Amino acid sequence: MLARETGMTVTQIVEETLRAYLPPPSAQNGNAGLVRKGALLVKPASGKRVSLDEANAALEEARSERD
C-alpha cells in the first residue's frame, strides 16, 4: 500500500525505514555502559584520566596475553 501511495518500490521503503530506525535508548546504552562516538563504542569518562603511556602499556599487555 505504501509503495503504491508513494511511488517507491517496496525495497526502497524498507531501506528508508531501516535508515530512519533508532533503537530505544535502553538498547543503545545496553552495551556495558558504552556509548557511540561516531563509528566507535567508548566508555564515558569516569573522572580518572588515562595517560598515553598508560594506554600504550595496557595495549602491549593485552597483545602479549593473546600470543
Tens-binned pLDDT, residue by residue, of the chain (67 aa): 989 999 999 999 999 999 998 776 665 555 567 778 888 888 887 778 888 899 899 989 989 987 6
d(CA 39, CA 47): 23
CA separation for the pair 29, 40 (Å, rounded): 13
**What is the pTM for the complete model shown?**
0.36
pLDDT at 21 (0 to 100): 87
- Neighbouring residues of 42: CB distance < 8 A, sequence distance ≥ 6: 34, 35, 36
Note the pLDDT of residue 12: 94
